[in-house]
Amino acid sequence: MKITDVKVAVIRGNFCWPLVRVDTDEGISGLGEARDYSPAHHYVIPLKEQVLRLKKVIVGEDPTNIERLFAKIRAYGAEGRFGGAVSGIEIALWDILGKSLGVPVYKVLGGKFRSKIRIYCDCHAGRAISDAATDYSFEGAEEFYTPEAYAEAARKIKVMGFTILKFDLHPQYAGKDALIGNVPTSKAIKYEVSVVEALREAVGDDFPLALDSYQGGTVEGAIRFGKAVDPYRLLWIEDVIDWKDTRGFKTVTRAIKTPTLTGEDIYTAASFKPLIEERAVDIVAPDIATNGGIMENKKVAWLANLYGLSVAPHCAGSPVSTMANVHAAAAMPENLIAIEFHAVAVPWWDDLVEGVDKPIIKGGYISVPERPGLGVEINENIARKHLMDGETCFE
Q: pLDDT (tens digit, 0 to 9) for every residue of the chain, 395 residues total? A: 999 999 999 999 988 899 999 999 999 999 999 988 765 555 555 677 888 889 999 999 999 999 999 999 999 999 988 899 999 999 999 999 999 999 999 999 999 999 999 999 999 887 655 433 444 444 445 678 899 999 999 999 999 999 999 999 999 889 888 999 888 999 999 999 999 999 999 999 999 999 999 999 999 999 999 999 999 999 999 999 999 999 999 999 999 999 999 999 999 999 999 999 999 999 999 999 999 999 999 999 999 999 999 999 999 999 999 999 999 999 999 999 999 999 998 999 999 999 999 999 999 999 999 999 999 999 999 999 999 888 899 98
Vertex 44: Cα angle to 55 and 122 (nearest 5)? 110
Neighbours of 257 (CB within 10 A): 11
**Which CATH architecture group holds 3-103+381-385?**
2-Layer Sandwich (3.30)
**130, 151, 200, 248, 249 from 203: Cα distances, Å:** 19, 8, 5, 32, 29
pTM above 0.85, yes or no: yes
Neighbours of 299 (CB within 10 A): 18
DSSP H helices in the chain: 44-53, 55-58, 66-73, 84-101, 105-108, 147-158, 186-203, 219-229, 246-255, 269-277, 294-306, 319-330, 380-385
Alpha-carbon gap, residue 288 to 266, rounded angstroms: 10
Domain layout of the chain by residue ranges: 3-103+381-385, 108-373
Alpha-carbon gap, residue 235 to 162, rounded angstroms: 14
**Right CATH for 108-373 from 3.20.20.220, 1.10.540.10, 3.20.20.120, 3.40.1280.10:** 3.20.20.120
Neighbours of 118 (CB within 10 A): 19
Alpha-carbon gap, residue 142 to 202, rounded angstroms: 20
Alpha-carbon gap, residue 211 to 199, rounded angstroms: 10
**7, 89, 90, 155, 242 from 3: Cα distances, Å:** 12, 11, 13, 48, 38
Neighbours of 269 (CB within 10 A): 22
Give CA torsion, residues 68, 71, 77, 78, to 10 deg.
140
Which residue type sits at 173?
Y
Give CA torsion, residues 21, 23, 28, 30, to 10 deg.
-20
**6, 16, 240 from 49: Cα distances, Å:** 11, 15, 32
